[in-house]
Every structure is written in structure tokens, then in C-alpha cells.
Structure 1
Amino acid sequence: MRVPHLHHGLRAIRPTQTPSGCRTFLSGIPEQKIHLSHTLPYSQKQLYDLVSDVSAYHRFVPFCTSSKILSRPPPGSGPDKPYRVELAVGFMGIEQRYVSNVFLTPYERVEAVAADESPIFTKLRSVWTFKPLATPSDSSALRNSPSNPLTKPSNVSIPSSPTLSASAPPSHPAPQTQFSLDLEFGFINPLHAALSSSSVQRVSQKMVEAFVSRCIQIYGNKDGVLREPSSKPSS
């Protein structure tokens, strides 16, 4: 199976490095930060449900070979009570396990922070956020809603559009949700730090492609989110 490519709508991945004062103690290589975002034709809940299902990460997250929930917060707990999750990652012949605390804010945010006893990372924090975007029909409905304070009652009769047939089916555009992923990480092992520094952009791209592919697998391909890779090199 060929890995599909994202449309050009994907915003550029911008890996950045923290100031020199944030260098890790052993490696001397700065901790790294990545920010990326994209808009997909799925609901906020649909995207949140995929990312919050941490036990399924090994099925689609690149380089994740195992994902297991160790403990759950008590029922009724707020978003400040984490899940404890054990993850195994393998990359370039290196495989390690670590425990992450995962904080869930339903439908809005998923934050994962590597536990203090991590044997791999000086720091690892990922934050997914999900923001629903108004569709054109939503905006029109809001403008014409009686509860809209900007809408004044009027006795003027507005004729129907002659271009629309009375029997035409209503249009229901797909929901649009913008997701953002922010990563901050630093490695204890200098070798791991050097490897990540040279491949961070490629790994980040694979993460986004894997997430979108998972959306299509679970929810279907709406509005052609992905396309087959072109045989021509990109300009």
C-alpha cells in the first residue's frame, strides 16, 4: 500500500530549537519544538476521539510499536487527572519503553507528558488541540437567526431565488475542524538527540500523514483529503 500525500493545504512544518539556555545536560543539544496544523473535513469530536484513544496508537502512530493503558483516573475526574500509558517506540534500530501521563479535555485537547522517570527523554510533551470551524451554511444560519442581536425583524417579503428548485435537496457541507500539534522534546542520550535533530521534519510529516490516513480508515475519505503520490518530483 502506497502512502498517500497530503494536499497542498497542509501548513508548513516549522521545527524550531529552543535557546541555548535550554540545552540538555548530557547531550549539549537543544531541546526541540515543532508546531504543525491542518484543517480536515471531520467534526471536532471525531478528531478528538482518534487522538484520545491512546491504546490504539501502535496501530497508526509512526514508530510506536506498543501502547498500553496502565491506569485510568477515577470516574468523574476532571482533566487534571491523567491516564498513565506505557508506550514503546522503535526508530533506526533503537527501541525503548517509557510511561506518559495523558490529560484529556473532552473534544478540545489531548496533552501527553513523559513521566519524570523516563529513561529516554529529558522532556517530552505533546499537545493536540481541536477547533471547529464554521461552514458557510453555519454562518448564514447565524446571521438569520432570531436570537442574533444583529438581526432586526423586518416585514419585507424576500422572494425566493429563481436559481433554486423547490425540489432541490438541501446542501450539507462537511464539518471543518482545525487541529494543531505542538511537540517539545529533548533526549538524554546524545545519539538519540543527534538522530532526532537530523530527521525531525520527516518524522513530523509522517505523523500527520498517519493521522489523516487513520481518519480516512475510520470515517471515510471526505472531499478528497488525500491524493495518490505523483510520479513527478515536487517543485
Structure 2
Amino acid sequence: MASLRPSFRLFSLAPAPARVCIATPPSLPATRRSFFDISRLSSLLDSSPVNISVSRTLPYPPSALYRLVSDVDSYSQFVPFCEESKVTKWATVPAAADAASSDPVRVPVEAYLRVGILGVNEVFTSRLRCDPGVAVEALSGDAAVAAGASAAVRSGPLKSLVTKWTISPVLIPGTDAQKAGSTHSEEAQQSLVQLQLNYDFRDPAKNIAGRALSDGVAAKMIEAFEAQARRVIAGKDEPVVSPLAGLNIPAPIKAFAKSQLQKEAEKK
């Protein structure tokens, strides 16, 4: 029979090392306030092409508004920052399907425009495309060449510019126009006017400047168009407002835009 031997477990009598506890300061609560908004800066310094769309419902028939927007020669009288406008070429196109007369319509197909903003003037040659009673589209730069304009339009500061006005009837339920399907004899008395701006400067710095101004300029353009409609269609005495009035542009961006545009102008 195997003898049983007691088992002994040896314990060290050496003192255990002292535990050192380092007090840490309480964590500071995260703050949402920032002195420098990186995301906003990135958007302001974006030099990619600019695309804007703004619309307004106006209490006028589409035919009257189309005549207004297709009168390119009058742009210098009311369009913000447009200092000179002149149609240089005309063409004859078929009348709209719902027009009162089937006679061909004379429309502008090319125009010279001079625009001044922040003390700098630029000249644009635009190719015009008119859909009588519906839309007027102005194209400059590469967009104009693609539409059949002379390659000379590429010589300007814009790589591409597309400005499009679209006019759609707003049919009010229960009215004669709605019942008749908006024929010319019973034309809708309200219209949805949409302005689309798509542009790309050759100089990325100008795209940055243009983006800082874009939303305000688009809003000013459609407001000016609405005021011109009140003058011409409604016969109201509407004052001409400075295009810079009410533009909410951050001071540093405004200064940056002005300096970049002026530097480019000095190179010419």
C-alpha cells in the first residue's frame, strides 16, 4: 500500500509590489462649437463645374413670359450683371403646335453678351436655342460649339456655359384652361418658370469664385425676371434694384473672388 505523503504549497513571504494608481483628470465634454468648419471650407473651395436650378410660379400666361425671356436684346435692361446684350443672328422656325397662327416664327440664334461683376467685365458669345412658347437656352464655350456655333466662342473665359429658361403652364382645377387642356384660346393664366445655370470656367479659381456667388446670382436673376414681367406684362411701375443688394456673400469669399477675377483681367 502506497504511503501517503503530505503535499506542501510554498507561499512567498516577500511583500507584494505596491500598486501605483495615477489619478486621471475627468474627461472634458465634447463641444459642438467649432471655430473652423472644414466641410464648409471644402464646399467653398470646390472648383468643379457649377449647376444651379431655381423656379418660380408667376401669375402670367406662358406665351407672354416666353416673349419676355426670348427678348435677348432687352437683357441688359433688367438681367443682373448684364451690361450689354445684342442678338447677332436670327433664324425662322415653325410655330408652336398650339400657337394662334401657323406662320413661321423668327427667333434669335446667336447673341453677344457683356457681363460685369465685382468690377470685372467679361464678353460672351452665346448660341441660342428657342422652343417657341416653351424654352430659351443660351450656350457658350464648348456647349455652344457642340450645338453648331463657331469654334471662335471657345476664346472666352468660359469653358462651358448653359443658361436655360423653361416655361410650363400651371393648370388650376376647374378653370376653362384646365378643362380645355390649355389650348391657345383658353391659355393657362399661371406659369412655372425654371432657370437652370450650368457653367465651368477655364480657370479653377473662377469656379471657386463663381460657386460663392452662384446661389445668390440665380435668385437675383429670377427675381429680376419676375419684376420685368410686372413691368411689361402687368404694366406696373417696378423699380430696378441693384443686383448686389441683399446678396449674402461671406466677406472673405467676396474678397477672394474679386482678387482672383481682377488678377485674371490684368493678364489680358
Figure out how many residues of one structure are paired with residues of the other and give that number. 166
Alpha-carbon contact 2:172-2:178 (below 8 Å) kept: no
Once the two structures are overlaid, the 10-residue window that deviates more, 183-192 or 106-115, is: 183-192
Matched, 1:47 2:65: yes
Q: In 2, Cα distance between the equivalents of 1:216 and 1:134? A: 21
The structure richer in helix per residue is 2
- 1:36 deviates by 1.1
For residues 122-201 of structure 1, what are the structure 2 equivalents within 5 Å? Answer: 122-138=159-175, 142=179, 175-201=189-215
For residue 64 of structure 2, what is the amino acid of its counterpart?
Answer: Q
- Is contact 1:41-1:177 (8 Å) kept? yes
Q: Work out the CA distance in 2 between the residues paired with 1:141 and 1:71.
A: 37
2:221 is aligned, of 203, 207, 221, to 207
Provide runs of 4+ in structure 1 moved above 3 Å: 75-79
- What amino acid maps onto 1:32 in structure 2? V
Specify the alignment match of 1:65 in structure 2: 83
Q: CA RMSD in A?
A: 2.9
Amino acid paired to 1:120: P
In 2: Cα distance, 1:113 partner to 1:138 partner: 37
What letter is aligned with 1:64?
A: C
Cα deviation, residue 86, structure 1 = 0.3
Structure 2 regions of 5+ residues with no counterpart?
A: 1-44, 96-104, 143-153, 237-268
Residue in 1 aligned with 2:47?
29
Which residue identity does 2:169 align to in structure 1?
P
The TM-score with structure 1 as length reference comes to 0.63
Query: For the structure 1 residues 49 and 118, does the alpha-carbon distance in structure 2 shift closer, same or farther, using more than 3 Å as the test?
Result: farther
1:188-218 CA deviation, whole Å, 9 max, x = no partner?
2334222211111111111111001000111
Partner of 2:136: 110
Counterpart CA distance in 1 for 2:87 and 2:177 is 44
Query: In terms of Rg, which structure is larger?
Result: 2
TM-score by length of 2: 0.56
Does the Cα contact within 8 Å between 2:54 and 2:219 map onto a contact in 1? Answer: no
Q: Structure 1 counterpart of 2:232, which letter?
A: I
Q: In 1, distance between residues paired with 2:63 and 2:84?
A: 25
Cα 1:29–1:111 shift into 2, 3 Å: same
Seen in structure 2, the aligned counterparts of structure 1 residues 134 and 193 have a Cα distance that, compared at 3 Å, is: same
Name the structure 1 match of 2:119.
93
SS in 2 for 1:66: strand
Identity rate, percent:
31
RCO higher in 1 or 2 (8 Å CA, sep ≥ 6)?
A: 1
